Amino acid sequence: MESKRLQKNDERASLLHSKLQEFYGMPSEIWSDVHWESNGFFGCGDMSMGRHATWFRFLVKQLFEKEGKPFPEHYIYDWYKMGFFSTWSQSGIKSILCLDCPKDLVFSIRKSLDAANNYFFLADPYSFHQVIVRGIVDVFDKSIWTLRDVVRQVEKAGSENLAAANASTSNSAIFPQNRPSVRRPEPDYDHLHEAARHVFHCTETLVVTTQLLERMVLRHRDRMMMLSNAPEEELACMRQIQDHLGCYQGMIYAFRCRSEAMQSRHQNEISLAFNTVAQYHSKVAVVDAAAMRVIAALTVVFLPATFVAAIFSMSFFNNDGSDGGWKLSSEFWIYWAFAVPLTVMTLAGLLLGNRILKFFSMIP
């Protein structure tokens, strides 16, 4: 069933809310925006005449192939916002309502129900839940493996860029794990951060689902303890369901660990991309600095001769004398009177420039 009608605020939706609350026993606040936008929850309650009701929600993000584009380089995604309401009484109605489930999950639930032992549903209200959670495990499995393909493609892209870079150089001392580049690196930051967003969401939903299932398993264990005097056949069914729920909880926890590992791997690729670009620019800066040193060396080579030529070309010197010799003007001291103070002032400005700027910046 789709939840679009239930999310409306019209009279028809309110009537559906009332009927569902009466039949399934969920609280009225379940229809609030807080619950509709939640990334997962589990609630339950014991009603009169041995009736037990539960309401819970799973959130899964699934990536898909983009039509006409190669996967995993290009993809689209969708959110599975699955809600469930169950009601059970040993001598009465046993029902579960599934909202917004993908087709694969619906098929899995129907297949499991067809193959299930009917006695389980007579003995334990959580017999529904083991079927639902088993299908949720499959949904998360598909979700995390498609996301893994995206992360792996990012990692392989770095290795492929390395191979292309090495093809243009004869340096055999380059090790693949260091991923150096003789070319300008051009990482696709938009793709990196978009993939990171999906990994974060996957980890978030798995963390919530792990806690949700932990709450479900604990609630079922409490029910087993309260019904410890039940017939052995019923207790055997409860223990088997408890074992199944615990197994599925462990699988979801394993998915969570895998997602956290993918998150670390992908973050490592992002850091490597930034560091590779920084390393490349650092090498370029070294080359530029070497060129500037060459220019500075040439300047130093020609500066003394230029200085001497400038001095002797001043009007303080005269070689047009009658005896053919050089004559020095008696006013040559004027040159030193201006040159020495200006030189001192220039050096002082270089040494004290930062302090002078700070002083003037403090003046309002």
- pLDDT, one tens digit per residue, over 82-91 is 999 999 998 8
pLDDT of 58 reads 97
Q: Phi and psi dihedrals of 117, rounded to 5?
A: -80, 120
pLDDT of 172 reads 42
| Residue-averaged pLDDT of the chain | 84
Q: Which residue has the higher pLDDT, 183 or 341?
A: 341
Q: Which residue has the higher pLDDT, 129 or 339?
A: 129
Closest CA to 63 of 161, 152, 169, 181: 152
Q: List the single range of 95-104, 138-147, 169-178, 197-206 with lowest mean pLDDT.
A: 169-178
Q: 320 pLDDT exceeds 80?
A: no
pLDDT of 170 reads 47
Q: 73 pLDDT exceeds 90?
A: no
Q: Which residue has the higher pLDDT, 240 or 285?
A: 240
Average pLDDT over residues 214-236: 92
Q: 179 pLDDT exceeds 60?
A: no
Strand partners, 78: 62
Q: List the single range of 93-97, 242-246, 304-308 with lowest mean pLDDT.
A: 304-308
Rounded Cα–Cα distance for residues 142 and 132 (Å):
16
Q: Could you give the 3-state DSSP secondary structure of residue 56?
A: strand
178 falls in which pLDDT band (50, 70, 90)? very low
41 falls in which pLDDT band (50, 70, 90)? very high
Q: Alpha helix (H) ranges present in 227-331?
A: 232-312
Q: Which residue has the higher pLDDT, 302 or 217?
A: 217
In what side-by-side order are the strands of the sheet with 52-65? 41-46, 52-65, 75-88, 94-99
Tell me the percentage of the chain whose pLDDT exceeds 70: 87
Q: 105 pLDDT exceeds 90?
A: yes
Q: Phi and psi dihedrals of 124, rounded to 5?
A: -145, 125
Average pLDDT over residues 222-248: 92
